[in-house]
C-alpha cells in the first residue's frame, strides 16, 4: 500500500482536484477507461457530499493490494452533521438537497466494496474500493 493522497475539501474547486487526482491514480494503477470514469464519478459524489452537507472534510486516495489483487481505496470523511437515517439515505431517489438521489446508492453500485459509518452530530466516513479486473486492464492502443 502506498501513502495516501489527501485532498482537503473546503471549496468547490477541491472537488475537481480530488477527481483529477483520483483519475490520475486510477490510470497509473492500470484501470481501464470505463473503471477510471466509475472511480472519478464516485470521488465526485463523495467530495460533493462533503462540500454540501459538512462544508469541509477530506478525501483520501490510495492504492491497495490484497490476495494478489490490486485496486484503489477512497475514503471520504467529515466532521459534519452526520446522516440521521442511513437506510433512508441509501434508497434510490432519496435526496435532502433536491438532487436526483443517486449519490450514495450510485456510489455503492459503481464500486466493488462500500462501507458507511455515520453518527448524527459527529460526522460521516465512507470507504469504497474498486479492484482491477485482470480481464479488463487498461489497453495500450
At 88-110, the pLDDT tens digits run 877 766 665 544 446 888 899 99
Find cell 472511480 and name the residue.
Answer: 39
The whole-number pLDDT of residue 101 equals 41
Q: Is 8 helix (H, G, I), strand (E, B) or coil?
A: strand
Q: Is 52 helix (H, G, I), strand (E, B) or coil?
A: helix
- Distance, first Cα to last Cα, the chain: 28
Distance CA 89, CA 114 (A): 14
At 19-73, the pLDDT tens digits run 999 999 999 999 999 999 999 999 999 999 999 999 999 999 999 998 889 999 9
Grid coordinates representing 133?
479486473
Reported pTM = 0.88
The whole-number pLDDT of residue 33 equals 96
Amino acid at each position: 500500500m502506498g501513502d495516501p493522497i489527501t485532498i482537503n475539501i473546503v471549496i468547490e474547486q477541491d472537488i475537481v482536484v480530488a477527481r483529477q487526482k483520483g483519475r490520475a491514480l486510477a490510470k497509473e494503477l492500470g484501470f481501464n477507461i470505463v473503471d477510471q470514469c466509475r472511480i472519478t464519478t464516485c470521488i465526485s459524489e463523495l467530495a460533493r457530499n462533503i462540500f454540501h452537507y459538512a462544508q469541509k472534510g477530506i478525501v483520501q486516495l490510495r492504492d491497495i493490494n490484497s490476495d494478489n489483487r490490486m485496486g484503489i481505496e477512497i475514503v471520504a470523511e467529515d466532521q459534519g452533521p452526520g446522516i440521521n437515517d442511513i437506510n433512508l439515505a441509501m434508497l434510490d431517489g432519496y435526496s435532502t438537497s433536491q438532487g436526483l438521489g443517486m449519490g450514495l446508492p450510485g456510489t455503492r453500485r459503481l464500486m466493488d466494496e462500500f462501507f458507511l459509518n455515520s453518527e448524527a452530530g459527529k460526522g460521516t466516513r465512507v470507504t469504497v474500493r474498486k479492484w482491477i479486473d485482470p480481464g479488463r486492464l487498461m489497453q495500450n492502443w
